[in-house]
Every structure is written in C-alpha cells, then in structure tokens.
Amino acid sequence: MEDEFCECRPLGFLIGLPFSLASLLLCLVGAFIWLFGSTLSCLCPCCIWCAELGNVGVSLVKLPIGVLKWFIRKIPC
C-alpha cells in the first residue's frame, strides 16, 4: 500500500486547507483541554473522567492533520 502523501493530489490539499485552518482553532482549544485534563488527573487520580478529558484534548490536537488526510483521500488527481 502506497503512502498517501506520495501521491499527487494538490487539488485535495488546496480544498482541504481552509478546513484545516479552521480546525487549527479547535487544536488550540484541544491543547488547553489536554493541559487541564492532565493537571486534574495528576491532582485527583481517582477520577477517570480527567484522563478521558485529556484523551479528548489530544484527539482535538490531531484534528488538522486528519482533516487534510481526509480531503486528500477523497479528491482524485
């Protein structure tokens, strides 16, 4: 299976770029949520939701790359 970034799909990249920039704002929110959840899980390790809050933050931080990959896969050359 070929690597997705080795294929020539500039149109998918260009169409997905504004959506990726919009998800960059969510990435900043995700970083704040991750720091907040990590701090709470260190202070109170008995609360399982604090660790889950950190996981949600990490998934929001990874969101812009996921958006770009989705658009690159959907738009053909």
What's the CA gap between 36 and 20, in Å, rounded? Answer: 24
User: What does the alpha-carbon distance between residue 35 and residue 21 come to, in Å, rounded to a whole number?
Assistant: 22
Count how many Cα atoms sit within 13 Å of the Cα of residue 17 in the half-sphere of its side chain. 6
User: pLDDT confidence of 1, banded at 50, 70, 90?
Assistant: very low
Query: For 30-58, what is the mean pLDDT?
Result: 81
Q: How far is CA 53 from the centre of its chain?
A: 15
Q: Which residue has the tokens 């809050």?
A: 53
d(CA 25, CA 4): 25
pLDDT at residue 19 above 50?
yes
